[in-house]
Amino acid sequence: MEKIAILCSGGDVSGMNPAIKRFVEYTYAKGMQPFFVYNGYEGLIDDHISEAHYEDVAGIMIRGGTKIRSARSVRFKEASYRAIAAENLRQKGISKLIVLGGDGSFRGMEHFYNETGIAFCGIPSTIDNDINGTDYCLGVDTALNVIKNAIDSIRDTASSFRRAFVIETMGRDCGYLALVSAITSGAEVCLIPEIPIDIHEYKGCFESQIRKGRDYFIAIVSEGLKNSSQVARWFEDELGFESRVSVLGHIQRGGNPSVYDRLMAYQFVTHAIDALQNGNNNSVICYTKSHFNFKSISEVALNPYTLDEALLTLGREQFAPSHCQM
């Protein structure tokens, strides 16, 4: 029986557990023996690898995070430790590997494949949605819904106290979460690395809106800008609005996986396993324009991700100070 393993690397996302469940059930259906690698690449090196069974995935569909845990591995960057990891897999007869992670994880696997020949398929899994070559990464929809609920709740208290709330979203240097959340929540301000805007440009417009009755503000700021506190002070110093900063932080990674993330998890894993069985030994399964397709590691991991131009245009139109209604 052919043996295949799965691991999670880097930050966890809601959607990993549904992917793990599908992995076990689909590999059995395809006549393969599934294995779990616990603790990401660290688990590969430390031989935390064990057979997976149906009972291991019972009831995990509704859980955020990952049952097999994740990690960031500095050791895996060294060839000597990758050799140990490969030997651990060979000792168990495992010839194929599925990796749920980001571009850094995929770069590591490219080195691993070139050195060992152990086949693998990567599944983009990061709430940052910043992997080149794919329009969607596992976990993004759940994260957006967590942010939506937080913004809706914060809006209640902002309007009750005549305050300005600056809400900081995750995303590293990518503004996807902030931009989509700002557009869909009706925020007054959206600040992301991809659309450079000076907050001072809003002053005249916002003063006009205040005179016409606006009594609170919601500003969505991407963590990559590192300026949430400065934006809050601007609302106080320039507009006289009591301000609060709400850093949503790691709540964006957790939570009950959304229906969409559960469905995408199943489809990502299904395509990945089919590809490995069909001899596609070194790729990342991507989702673009409503279609799944495979791309080389160099396409995915060695090129920067850029936000969709149509989405950026929408953001510029929505949040540019020149379009602010006086």
Q: Which residue among 12, 128, 130, 141 is the active-site one?
A: 128
Catalytic residue flag (residue 128): yes
Q: Are residues 177 and 84 in the same domain?
A: no
Number of structural domains the chain divides into? 2
pTM: 0.91
pLDDT digits (tens, 9 = 90+) for 244-302: 999 999 999 999 999 999 999 999 999 999 999 999 999 999 998 878 888 888 888 87
CATH number at residue 8: 3.40.50.450
Q: Are residues 103 and 213 in the same domain?
A: no
Contacts (Cβ under 8 Å, ≥6 apart) of 171: 127, 128, 129, 130, 177, 178, 222, 223, 224
Q: Say how many C-beta atoms besides its own lie within 10 A of residue 323's C-beta.
A: 10
Is 303 contained in some domain? no
Is 315 contained in some domain? yes
Q: Is 309 exposed, middle or buried (0-12, 13-18, 19+ CB in 10 A)?
A: exposed
Is 249 contained in some domain? yes
Q: Name which of 126, 109, 47, 133 is nearest 281 in CA terms.
A: 109
- Cα atoms found within 13 Å of the Cα of residue 75, Cβ hemisphere only: 15
Q: Is 211 exposed, middle or buried (0-12, 13-18, 19+ CB in 10 A)?
A: exposed
pLDDT digits (tens, 9 = 90+) for 4-44: 999 999 999 999 999 999 999 999 999 999 999 999 999 99
Is 301 contained in some domain? no
pLDDT digits (tens, 9 = 90+) for 49-90: 999 999 999 999 999 999 999 999 999 999 999 999 999 999
Q: Measure the CA–CA gap between 233 and 83, rounded to whole angstroms.
A: 52
Q: Which domain holds residue 50?
A: 2-139+257-295
The amino acid at residue 202 is Y
